[in-house]
Structure 1
Amino acid sequence: MTHSQQGRPEIVVGVVATPPDYPAQVVARLTAELADQLSERVDADVQWTVREGWGDVAPRRDGGVEALLDDCARRRKDARWDVAICLTDLPLHAERVPLVAQTSARRRVAMVSLPALGLRQLGTVRAAVPDLVSRLLTDASDERVPPAGWEPAELASRVGAISRVVGEADAGEWGYVASRLTGRVRLVTGMVRANRPGRALLGLSKLLVGAFGTAAVALTTSTIWQMGDALGGLRLTVVMLLGLTALVAWLIVAHDLWEKPDRETSAELARLFNLGTVLTLALATAVSYLVLFAGTVLAAALLIDTSVLEQTLQRTVHVTDYLILAWIISSLATVGGAIGSGLEDEDTVRAAAYGYHPEPGGWRDEKNA
């Protein structure tokens, strides 16, 4: 039993990010305030010391949650932490429903799957982790803190992502799972959130530049003006959707972003990874399209005089005509932008793949420490 200089017992809580990519950002923000939360919600007579660390860049997929718990337990023993919490962006399942969290009193570790928390991940982690630490210490019969005054099932009432609890009471192995329907929706949206679409959007800057170049050329072509005037709203919508779909498909194929099932990745996990990748790219390209559309509208208003457009269309021109013109040009320019995407840095584009995690700076020093 470790005691602090003030005579209070000290409990060291380790928080591990696996992989050290997006989960590391959540860990950094959590550890800054976790000691105060534990003092307030678990026991104020304990000196809480919080340590943060990195897990594997490529966590084992074949072993599921048990492999993560084993890896975290080894890290806890090596670092001499009392308990450890692992935050991961891997989508996990238990009893065919999304797994939100898992505690193991035997290992003295717990795991939280960030995607299963949906969009509000940091807030939910702040609410759940102190309770998970309290549950771990109670199930491990740690006498430095009073037993938790609540049953594991009560955590579902405090964390909206949790629907029910499964596990073995005698062994202190508890799994906190989501609902079958809303839990899957929350898992998918959480995967997109964890995949950081903003990073993918910034990574496609050259694509957007190429699309603007194509749009600028198209603006000077009167045939495009007439084509936009002839097409109805339905066909313009179809052209837009086809352009965006072709762009997403090109990015996936050209940069090998498609996850294939193998010995370490199950077919179900590969499907989830691919779904996360497709949705991330779809969201990033949709935002790029809106930026392109707004820029094209502005350029058309500045460069194309109303009288010139009226002479070409043989009728009175309204604001909607400029919007339609920008609509068709933006749709066609996304195809030209796909050519520009081939000039993107490979690592920048591959960051949109859900299963891809580059080694962060300092990883080797941390690993060898």
Structure 2
Amino acid sequence: MEEKTVGIVSSPELPSTIANALKKQFQKDLCKYVADGKLEWRVEVEVDLLTGATEEVAEVLEGAEQIKKRNGWDFAISLTDLPVYNGRSIVLADANIDTCTAQISLPAFGWRPTPNRVKIIMLLMIKELYFRQTTDYENNDLEQKGIGPLDIKKQKGFVNKLEKPFRFSAVRRIESSNQTEETTVRFVIVPKINGLARILFGMTIANRPWAILPSFKNVVAIAFATGAYGLIFPTLWKLSISYEIYRFIGLTATAVVGMVVWIIFAHDLWEKKNVENINRLRWMYNSTTILTLGTSVVMYYIVLYLLFLIAVSVFVPPDLYEAEADKDVGPLNYLKLAWLVTSVATFAGAIGAGLENPERVRKSTYSYRQYSRFEEMKEKEENEKKGTDDS
């Protein structure tokens, strides 16, 4: 039986994790759904640093083609956390039919780029590459082989039928030829506003907002020490009883936003405008940084709240609390007291966040791509400054 090999070229971190997670099942599905079981399929995974650093789609596909030739693969799929655009539309995946290479953009999957959802689109791209290479295709042939109609009017919702991986967006298929007469097939998400939201949430997940928490041990220590000290005095007890709910919400929002802003500017995480970066990508990366840190700080806030809830339950005697409040107190009062102390402690924790090692914070906050982008821009700025000083 003839054997075909598919290579998955992934960038580091999340794409690599997904590629390895779906490898085994993807190979089984290829044998089952492509060429009616007449071929033996083999899947290999290789991590490529270029795929995780460059922002040029052509470079990614060219790099995948070179790796394909070097390893003797028949097909290569690049799995990347690069946000890809076609004009103003968000690209889910694209394939070069002539070079048998394809690329899938994980941010286009939104906040849930699970291996199963990615595998569905990878299977679709292999069908595109394989059947377009081996048969004289007709529109009906493509539909029967599971690729989808060429007629745009018939495309609406086609990819959604594949176990519904995109519940709130449709995917449209675009085919074109470039200057070298190579055929390119591209899948874009419509409407555009949905695609933009998917990109932001997808890039936030790629940044792993949960990974920053272990880096903030000192922040938690300072915040908890401050809050615990504040609990000794009855002032916070009285305020927690006097405050209305809207004040608690306002304090929480102010504390979270303040901490996010402080971390961004204390560790130089905001990407500034210069002649090298593209405004759209700069806006996208900065928005992703805000969402990543916002998610991290909310998680940190919840952890701190649970710690203070235990603390107030243990250290604040009900009799003394009632005496200070001059009224009966119940579980709701303890919940509100822990809430108020958490907000106050978060303000103190923000100061501790500014004392963390900037390099460690960047590595925790950024994905591999965004960190590589930051280092590259930093190096360019240093070289320009050095050239100015020399002159």
Equivalent of 1:165, from 149, 170, 173?
173
Q: Tell me, what secondary structure is at the counterpart of 1:242?
A: helix
Segments of structure 1 that go 5 or more residues without pairing to the other structure are 1-7, 359-369
1:308 aligns with 2:332: no
Residue 100 of structure 2 is matched in structure 1 by 108
Q: Tell me how far apart the structure 1 counterparts of residues 310 and 147 of structure 2 sit (CA, whole Å).
A: 60
1:126 aligns with 2:134: no
Q: Tell me, what secondary structure is at the counterpart of 2:111?
A: coil
Residue 367 of structure 1 is matched in structure 2 by none
Residue 197 of structure 1 is matched in structure 2 by 209
Q: Is the 8 A contact 1:162 1:176 kept in 2?
A: no
Segments of structure 2 that go 5 or more residues without pairing to the other structure are 150-154, 373-391
Residue 196 of structure 2 is matched in structure 1 by 184
Q: Is the 8 A contact 1:23 1:87 kept in 2?
A: yes
Larger helix proportion, structure 1 or 2?
Answer: 2
Which amino acid is the alignment partner of residue 20 of structure 2? A
Which amino acid is the alignment partner of residue 168 of structure 1? S
Q: Is the 8 A contact 2:241 2:333 kept in 1?
A: yes
Q: Tell me how far apart the structure 2 counterparts of residues 142 and 246 of structure 1 sit (CA, whole Å).
A: 60
Equivalent of 1:242, from 242, 246, 254?
254
Q: Tell me how far apart the structure 1 counterparts of residues 44 and 123 of structure 2 sit (CA, whole Å).
A: 14
* 1:290 to partner: Cα distance: 1.3
Q: Is the 8 A contact 1:257 1:353 kept in 2?
A: no
Which amino acid is the alignment partner of residue 79 of structure 1? N
Where in structure 2 are the equivalents of 1:75-86 lying within 5 Å?
75-86=67-78
Q: Tell me, what secondary structure is at the counterpart of 1:164?
A: strand
Between stretches 107-116 and 69-78, larger displacement belongs to 69-78
1:11 aligns with 2:4: yes
Q: Tell me how far apart the structure 2 counterparts of residues 172 and 138 of structure 1 sit (CA, whole Å).
A: 14
Q: Is the 8 A contact 2:124 2:146 kept in 1?
A: no
Residue 39 of structure 1 is matched in structure 2 by 31
Where in structure 2 are the equivalents of 1:13-32 lying within 5 Å?
13-18=6-11, 20-32=12-24
Where in structure 2 are the equivalents of 1:279-290 lying within 5 Å?
279-290=291-302
* 1:326 to partner: Cα distance: 1.2
Residue 138 of structure 1 is matched in structure 2 by 131
Q: Is the 8 A contact 2:262 2:354 kept in 1?
A: no
Where in structure 2 are the equivalents of 1:226-265 lying within 5 Å?
226-262=238-274, 264-265=276-277
Between stretches 282-291 and 345-354, larger displacement belongs to 345-354
Q: Tell me, what secondary structure is at the counterpart of 1:204?
A: helix
The 3 A distance-change label for structure 1 pair 356 and 12 is: same
Q: Tell me how far apart the structure 2 counterparts of residues 268 and 152 of structure 1 sit (CA, whole Å).
A: 31
Q: Report the aligned-residue RMSD.
A: 2.4
Q: Deviations over 1:52-89 (max 9, x none)?
A: 1112255222x3x2222122122222222111000111
Q: Tell me, what secondary structure is at the counterpart of 2:365?
A: coil
Which amino acid is the alignment partner of residue 119 of structure 1? W
Which amino acid is the alignment partner of residue 60 of structure 1? T
Equivalent of 1:214, from 195, 202, 226?
226
Q: Tell me, what secondary structure is at the counterpart of 2:49?
A: coil
* 1:95 to partner: Cα distance: 2.9
Q: Tell me how far apart the structure 2 counterparts of residues 225 and 316 of structure 1 sit (CA, whole Å).
A: 13
TM-score by length of 2: 0.81
Q: Is the 8 A contact 1:140 1:172 kept in 2?
A: no
TM-score by length of 1: 0.86
Q: Is the 8 A contact 2:30 2:41 kept in 1?
A: yes
* 1:343 to partner: Cα distance: 4.5
Q: Deviations over 1:135-179 (max 9, x none)?
A: 112223379xxx852444465242535521112278431110111
Equivalent of 1:335, from 347, 368, 380?
347
Q: Tell me how far apart the structure 2 counterparts of residues 187 and 252 of structure 1 sit (CA, whole Å).
A: 21
Residue 352 of structure 1 is matched in structure 2 by 365
Q: How many residues align?
A: 346
The 3 A distance-change label for structure 1 pair 41 and 92 is: same
Q: Tell me how far apart the structure 1 counterparts of residues 131 and 26 of structure 2 sit (CA, whole Å).
A: 18
* 1:261 to partner: Cα distance: 4.3
Q: Is the 8 A contact 1:92 1:98 kept in 2?
A: yes
Q: Is the 8 A contact 2:238 2:325 kept in 1?
A: yes
* 1:190 to partner: Cα distance: 1.9
Q: Tell me how far apart the structure 1 counterparts of residues 101 and 297 of structure 2 sit (CA, whole Å).
A: 40
Q: Tell me, what secondary structure is at the counterpart of 2:4?
A: strand
Where in structure 2 are the equivalents of 1:267-282 lying within 5 Å?
267-282=279-294
Q: Tell me how far apart the structure 1 counterparts of residues 269 and 175 of structure 2 sit (CA, whole Å).
A: 36
Q: Is the 8 A contact 2:26 2:123 kept in 1?
A: yes
Q: Is the 8 A contact 1:21 1:357 kept in 2?
A: no
